[in-house]
Chains A and B, each alone.
Chain A
Amino acid sequence: MATAAAQQTARTQPGTGRDGTVGTTDADDAFARAFDAAVAADERIEPRDWMPDAYRATLVRQIAQHAHSEIIGMQPEANWITRAPSLRRKAILMAKVQDEAGHGLYLYSAAETLGTGRDELLDKLHSGRQKYSSIFNYPTLTWADVGAIGWLVDGAAITNQVPLCRCSYGPYARAMVRICKEESFHQRQGYELLLALSKGTPEQHAMAQDAVDRWWWPSLMMFGPPDDESAHSAQSMAWKIKRHSNDELRQRFVDICVPQAESLGLTLPDPDLRWNEERGQHDFGAIDWTEFREVLKGNGPCNEQRITQRRRAHDEGAWVREAAAAHAAKHSRPGAGAPAAPAPTTASADTTGTTGAPQA
């Protein structure tokens, strides 16, 4: 706990503003040294700890975009909820989309510990100033796409996110522990969905193969640009926000997927994919980075649709949020409005109590 003590010392030095505006460079240095030492010792940085502005900004950007990806990511799957072909599959899919909304909530909370509000982040998403994962700009054209998303997209997300459970920023790392558990479950369900199709009728098998053909390359793009073009990688690795490079994680994912595709009885759409004895890894074909850049720029197949739906949900819901705020305001001021007590909770307790039924 030497580093924690150093942070404490730095924090309590007289005459020092945490933003360093007082100009006491010695104290600034002490904060910075304490931070570096904590990162080096694999200690967790917590919300009240001093951190470099750039570290804070990087985390806000990454966590917010992660949160945005969860909520935009609800759309391609929700697209199939009303058409799910069995009640069991429908229940699984609804639960999954519900989990994604929950993941969005955890992640916005984690981002808020860095001093930014959910409203502000959503505004940045809606105005295109913050991004979400490129993968959700692809359409779900058949039921099998739901399986391909589970197997490949969630699989890639897990490969990316498991190392984040050890990320240097405590609130993010803890959110990821919980999220990764649920994501692994979703991925297994996606795999199982594809397996049922692959072993089903010839039409179902063809549907599964077509989905894998369409989702394979976009999934590989989820790991981001190649290492020599990744703008934020080096600094993020130094700060232990990131633990592995994009290309390392992408390779790991390919090596995991190849045997899984085989046991699914499906092929991966890459003629250059083969085992490399020397490297002990799979070689695979070139990714179409032009497509990747186009999708990031907003020119993917669903960019416009996704953001429009998100904005519409938000705009059309404005009166509901305003009503909730107005109601809370009326009933939180002492002496204002009709019921004097804090109404929102006591109100419902009255009637549910009359039935004698237990609260869920």
Chain B
Amino acid sequence: MTAPSTDTPTVSAALALGDDALVLSHRLGEWMGHAPVLEEEVALANIALDLLGQARVLLSMAGDEDELAYLREERAFRNLQLVEQPNGDFAHTIARQLYFSTYQHLLHARLAAGDGPFAPLAAKAVKETAYHRDHAEQWTVRLGDGTEESRARMIRACAALWRFTGEMFQPVEGVDVDGAALEAEWLASVEDVLRRATLDVPEGPRTGAWTAGAGRQGLHTEPFGRMLAEMQHLHRSHPGASW
């Protein structure tokens, strides 16, 4: 299986949103046993689990969750490039969480308020993503307004991931939200958090010709293929087996 059928807008939207949750959940799962404090082992696992739960619902709307997760190749994944970025240090993980969970929370709130096919999922997920967002915001403020070292790391992380943030507001077929309004609200919120963290808003492009919308078209960054190789290896080694 190389590519799922993307016949309907609902299927392609379910894949885009489902892949975001699946891939970020996987990255957070990589932290387990490596977190800076035990409380963060619990928190990161908790967020990873919420996202995996969302991914399973969404992928099941598009087909068989395991076929979609384990048997698609890199070019058939529709996730944002932001969520596939490696964990880096804790500041990179937090910056990625801040950018994504703010977007996801605002998106879920809109989807939950509508009457589209994703409203029931979003109604549940909006509570989870409020928690994810709160967690990321608190850590952004702590690290930004902590020590010299944590501040320097947080600045680097926010800057490094900034270029991947424009993609979140590109139109996704089947996701009926006003991208421009979402982006404005996202920017205002992230700027506010960064200000409270005593940090400047990063400079530089957010929508380059290659990055903007690329992940949604199956054009990914190099670390993603390696992530999939690890994720899919066992499943692919036993074709047709059930687990």
CB-contact partner of A348 in B48, B106, B137, B235, under 8 A: B137
A323 touches B238 (CB 8 A): no
B242 lies within 8 A of chain A by Cβ: yes
**Closest Cβ–Cβ distance, residue B114 to chain A (whole Å):** 15
The reply to whether A83 and B56 form a contact with Cβ atoms under 8 Å apart is: no
Residues of A within 8 A of B59 (CB): 87
Cβ of A309 within 8 Å of any chain B Cβ, yes or no, is yes
Instruction: Enumerate A333-350 residues with CB–CB distance to B below 8 Å.
Output: 337-339, 343-344, 347-348, 350
The answer to whether residues A86 and B38 also contact, given A101-B45, A322-B146 and a CB cut-off of 8 A, is no
Q: How far is the CA of A143 from the CA of B237 in the complex (A)?
A: 12
Closest Cβ–Cβ distance, residue A250 to chain B (whole Å): 29
- Taking A344-B142, A354-B189 as contacts, is the C-beta distance between A82 and B231 under 8 angstroms? yes
Number of interface residues of B (CB under 8 A): 67
A323/B243 in contact, CB under 8 A: no
For the complex formed, measure the closest distance between the CB of A120 and the CB atoms of chain B, giving whole angstroms. 15
Complex-state Cα separation, A309 to B37, whole angstroms: 13
A97 closest partner in B (C-beta): B32
Q: Is the interface of A mostly helix, strand, loop or mixed?
A: helix
* Residues 1-59 of B at the A interface (beta carbon under 8 Å): 22, 26, 29-30, 32-42, 45-46, 48-49, 52-53, 55-56, 59
| Closest chain B CB from A142 CB (angstroms) | 9
B42: A residues at CB distance < 8 A: 98, 101-102, 105
* Cβ-defined contact, A87 with B52, below 8 A: yes
A-B pair number, CB within 8 angstroms: 194
Instruction: List residues of A (88-137) whose CB comes within 8 Å of B's CBs.
Output: 88-91, 94-95, 97-98, 101-102, 104-105, 108
Which of A74, A193, A197, A352 sits near B32, CB closer than 8 Å?
A: A74
In contact, A355 and B106 (Cβ under 8 angstroms): yes
For A196, the chain B residues whose CB sits under 8 A away are 242-243
**Given A313-B34, A360-B131: A101 in contact with B41 (beta carbons within 8 A):** yes
Q: When the two chains form their complex, are residues A91 and B150 in contact, meaning their CB atoms are under 8 A apart?
A: no
A328 CB, nearest partner CB in chain B, Å: 8
Stretch from A23-31, A40-48, A198-206 at the B interface: A198-206
Encode B197-211 as 1/0 by CB contact (under 8 A) with A.
Answer: 010000000000000
Q: Is A21 an interface position by the 8 A CB rule?
A: no
| Inter-chain contact A83/B41, CB cutoff 8 Å | no
Of the candidates A85, A201, A322, A348, the one whose C-beta lies within 8 Å of that of B138 is A348
* Cα of A316 to Cα of B33 in the assembled complex, Å: 12
Residues of A within 8 A of B55 (CB): 87
How many chain A residues touch B (Cβ–Cβ < 8 Å)? 65
Query: CA separation between A86 and B26, bound complex, in Å?
Result: 12
- Complex-state Cα separation, A200 to B238, whole angstroms: 11
- A273 is an interface residue with CB less than 8 A from chain B: no
Are B138 and A98 within 8 A (Cβ)?
Answer: no
Contacts A94-B29, A201-B241, A204-B241: A86 and B141 contacting too (C-beta < 8 A)? no
| Contact between A317 and B35, CB atoms less than 8 A apart | yes
Asked if B61 CB lies within 8 Å of chain A CBs, one says no
Is A359 an interface residue when CB atoms closer than 8 A count as contact? yes
| Contacting residues of chain A (288-317) with chain B, CB-CB under 8 angstroms | 309, 312-314, 316-317
Q: Which of B132-160 contact A (CB under 8 A)?
A: 133-134, 137-138, 141-143, 145-147, 149-150, 153
> Which of B65-73, B75-83, B171-179 touches A?
B65-73
Specify which of B38, B106, B133, B233 lies most central, judged by the most chain A CB atoms within 10 Å of its CB: B38
Q: Do A94 and B35 have beta carbons less than 8 Å apart?
A: no
Q: Given A201, A313, A344, which contacts B33 in the complex, CB threshold below 8 Å?
A: A313
Given contacts A87-B69, A102-B42, A348-B138, is CB(A324)–CB(B146) below 8 Å?
A: yes
The answer for the CA separation of A98 and B49 in the assembled complex, in Å, is: 9
Given contact pairs A90-B29, A323-B142, A357-B105, A85 touches B49 in the complex (Cβ within 8 A): no
| Contact of A200 with B241 in the complex, beta carbons under 8 Å | yes
- Report yes or no: A85 in contact with B243, Cβ–Cβ below 8 A: yes
Which of B90, B235, B243 gathers the greatest number of chain A CB atoms within 10 Å? Answer: B243
- Select which of A318, A324, A355 is within 8 A of B130 by beta carbon: A355
**Cross-chain contact B66 with A87 (CB below 8 angstroms):** yes
Cβ of A83: which chain B residues have Cβ within 8 Å of it?
A: 230-231, 233-234
Whether a CB of chain B sits under 8 angstroms from the CB of A263 is no
- Name A319's contact: one of B105, B130, B147 (CB within 8 Å): B147
The smallest beta-carbon distance between B12 and chain A, in angstroms, is: 20
Which chain A residue has the least Cβ–Cβ distance from B153? Answer: A319
Interface centre among A78, A98, A360 (most CB of B within 10 A): A360
Q: Is the CB of B49 within 8 A of A82?
A: no
Contact among B32, B46, B109 with A78 in the assembled complex (CB-CB below 8 Å): B32
Instruction: Decide: A316 near B235, CB < 8 A? Known: A357-B126, A357-B127.
Output: no
Contact yes or no, A98 B46, CB < 8 A: yes
12 residue pairs of the A-B complex, CB under 8 angstroms, read A86-B242, A94-B48, A97-B41, A105-B38, A201-B238, A204-B241, A317-B37, A321-B37, A347-B138, A354-B189, A355-B105, A357-B129
**What 4 pairs between A and B have smallest CB-CB spacing?**
A317-B36, A323-B146, A360-B131, A323-B150
